[in-house]
A and B are shown apart, each in its own frame.
Chain A
């Protein structure tokens, strides 16, 4: 990276072609990554009430069932509610924490950030069992608050990572400039820092929402018949009910995820090329 400019006079722009066997290998890997996911889509149009593949017959009954049953719609609504609430809280807490990390001396900041990252490292089952034990004592299982509290913990590391990386490109002198011109710390943050780190905050929010919306392990423990999130319903449909509506639900989830991921990968590249 560093000395290459001196040692290598010219870096050819187009690098060596990828050999044929390697291309073939990559095609196989892409197939392995994508095809098993895509198999869910034809399943969702199955006419039969089982999980056999290839599906027999064609029908839209699983989509109809998904959108007309209170059970599935309630769980979708619950997932959206929990997702938005925990993303908002995680974004506020995480942004403040990331700013604190950026302003600390390196020794403290590395200690603090490893504390904040802990929910990412501890296996999901262990956290699920632990928070379930506590929420049983506090009678918080099956309530929106319990879901939001647990999901916020899991989403925090994503927000902190995302905001921290955009803060690393932020010039701290700008805050000093704002305060020397008379802005209080809050005003300096809102009018100067926040607009500049906004991309990191927004992507942190999106990551936090997706983390919560997808979260399955903790949700399986906290769910009660009265309050289930979408992944919990999908899990039950596969594991206990053998309800093919799950294939429609999974297809919709895959569709939305694909659109978001492709846009996220393609859009920044376009802007740069313009």
Chain B
């Protein structure tokens, strides 16, 4: 990686051995802390979801039979899909621009992405609360066009709109990372072979950016599925998302087993989607290599 300042031949075996022993010791404190304060709590609610008050799949069966959770799950998936696609459409041209502008402008554009990323999520959601409120700026805007009563607050649509803004950095950063590795010489090669800009974008650039598209989309999708603060502040109980169901079960009823089961559903759905997207990317990659060869 870096230039070798000192190159020292492999020395005595004893050093390697003490190294191996101390490596375990270095890893241990963090592992212990994770075990007690992360793995154990998660294991506990999973255990409770299968055993409390009685052993069985009762909590899992009622997820599918209570007439609410399935609707909520589908609504959550819809919001994830909408937010994923919207951030992709909005963020793709922006990320592309970041790879071609001057370094100075790149810093500006990067700062503009990082800024909302680091601003406290409650402050950001509060801003959307004001915008989407009855008589808020969005309502006023639609009234100016003669459309009355566009109050996004307390609807899942309002949650989705705010989530697009909240999630945009999660889309732009992976897209930019991938796009900055694309060799622009390939585009010049395509042009010199007679391809029009649109064709060389569709046939060369876009396929090469697909890995970034997939990682950006899966990141946004997955984070959106489990997001809590924005739905809790902008949504409503009768248009709840899955994270709200999990939270209210505990806050109102202290129903940890039920919340654990709903949490497992969220986790399994998340992992399945990640797996599928990963599989698509892996399948797409060799094809892309064949195409460009």
Which residues from chain A contact B107 at a C-beta distance below 8 Å?
265-266, 269
A129 with B94: CB separation less than 8 A: no
| Chain A residue nearest to B267 in the complex (CB) | A126
B226 with A177: CB separation less than 8 A: no
Question: At the interface, yes or no: B11 with Cβ under 8 Å from chain A?
Answer: yes
Q: How large is the interface on A (under 10, 10 to 19, 20 to 34, 35 or more residues)?
A: 35 or more
Q: A32-B165, A123-B270, A127-B41 are in contact. Are A37 and B6 (CB under 8 A)?
A: no
Partner of B5 from the list A96, A153, A156, A174 (CB cut-off 8 Å) is: A174
Q: Residues of B within 8 Å of A, CB-based: how many?
A: 95
Which residues from chain A contact B124 at a C-beta distance below 8 Å?
36-37
Which of A14, A97, A269 neighbours the largest number of chain B CB atoms within 10 Å of its CB? A97
| Chain B residue nearest to A23 in the complex (CB) | B97
A260 with B23: CB separation less than 8 A: no
Distance between B113 CB and nearest chain A CB, rounded to angstroms: 7
A29 with B232: CB separation less than 8 A: no
A173 with B126: CB separation less than 8 A: no
Question: At the interface, yes or no: A60 with Cβ under 8 Å from chain B?
Answer: no
A25 with B256: CB separation less than 8 A: no
Give Cα A132 to B251, complex, Å.
Answer: 10
B120 with A231: CB separation less than 8 A: yes
B226 with A123: CB separation less than 8 A: yes
| Chain A residue nearest to B102 in the complex (CB) | A14
Which residues from chain A contact B263 at a C-beta distance below 8 Å?
123, 125-126, 129-130
The contact string, 1 if C-beta is below 8 Å from chain A, for chain B 91-129, is 101101100111100010111111110111111111111
A176 with B15: CB separation less than 8 A: yes
Which residues from chain B contact A176 at a C-beta distance below 8 Å?
8, 11, 15
Which residues from chain A contact B2 at a C-beta distance below 8 Å?
169-171
A216 with B91: CB separation less than 8 A: no
B26 with A99: CB separation less than 8 A: yes
Give Cα A40 to B122, complex, Å.
Answer: 11
Partner of B126 from the list A97, A104, A238 (CB cut-off 8 Å) is: A238
B137 with A53: CB separation less than 8 A: yes
Which residues from chain B contact A234 at a C-beta distance below 8 Å?
120, 122-123, 126
Question: At the interface, yes or no: B206 with Cβ under 8 Å from chain A?
Answer: no
Partner of B122 from the list A15, A36, A238 (CB cut-off 8 Å) is: A238
B111 with A153: CB separation less than 8 A: no
Give Cα A109 to B233, complex, Å.
Answer: 40
Partner of A131 from the list B37, B102, B113 (CB cut-off 8 Å) is: B37
Partner of B130 from the list A30, A51, A131, A156 (CB cut-off 8 Å) is: A51
A257 with B120: CB separation less than 8 A: yes
Of A61-69, A70-78, A113-121, A197-205, the one with at least 4 CB within 8 A of chain B: A113-121
A153 with B225: CB separation less than 8 A: no
B165 with A133: CB separation less than 8 A: no
Give Cα A53 to B132, complex, Å.
Answer: 10
Distance between B116 CB and nearest chain A CB, rounded to angstroms: 5
Partner of A96 from the list B26, B225, B227 (CB cut-off 8 Å) is: B26
Question: At the interface, yes or no: A149 with Cβ under 8 Å from chain B?
Answer: yes
A115 with B31: CB separation less than 8 A: yes
Distance between A220 CB and nearest chain B CB, rounded to angstroms: 8
Give Cα A119 to B29, complex, Å.
Answer: 16
Q: A16-B100, A34-B112, A34-B115 are in contact. Are A26 and B93 (CB under 8 A)?
A: yes
Q: A173-B6, A266-B107 are in contact. Are A129 and B250 (CB under 8 A)?
A: yes
Which residues from chain A contact B276 at a C-beta distance below 8 Å?
none
B225 with A123: CB separation less than 8 A: yes
| Chain B residue nearest to A41 in the complex (CB) | B127
Distance between A149 CB and nearest chain B CB, rounded to angstroms: 5
Partner of A25 from the list B93, B103, B131, B246 (CB cut-off 8 Å) is: B93
Question: At the interface, yes or no: A144 with Cβ under 8 Å from chain B?
Answer: no
Partner of A33 from the list B8, B133, B168 (CB cut-off 8 Å) is: B168
Q: A15-B184, A130-B45, A246-B126 are in contact. Are A265 and B114 (CB under 8 A)?
A: yes
Which residues from chain B contact A173 at a C-beta distance below 8 Å?
4-8
Question: At the interface, yes or no: B136 with Cβ under 8 Å from chain A?
Answer: yes
Which residues from chain B contact A119 at a C-beta distance below 8 Å?
34, 38
Question: At the interface, yes or no: A88 with Cβ under 8 Å from chain B?
Answer: no
Question: Which B30-55 residues have C-beta < 8 A from chain A?
Answer: 30-31, 33-34, 37-42, 44-45, 48
A–B Cβ pairs within 8 angstroms, 27 of them: A15-B184, A22-B93, A36-B128, A37-B123, A37-B124, A38-B127, A39-B131, A51-B129, A51-B130, A52-B135, A97-B31, A100-B23, A100-B24, A125-B228, A128-B247, A129-B250, A133-B44, A149-B37, A153-B33, A171-B2, A171-B6, A174-B6, A214-B118, A214-B120, A258-B119, A265-B111, A269-B107
Would you list the 5 A-B pairs with minimal beta carbon distance, nearest first?
A123-B226, A130-B41, A250-B123, A100-B27, A100-B26
Residues of B within 8 A of A (CB): 1-2, 4-8, 11, 15, 18-19, 22-24, 26-27, 29-31, 33-34, 37-42, 44-45, 48, 90-91, 93-94, 96-97, 100-103, 107, 109-116, 118-131, 133, 135-137, 165, 168-169, 181, 183-185, 188-189, 225-229, 232-233, 243, 246-247, 250-251, 256, 259-260, 263, 266-267, 270
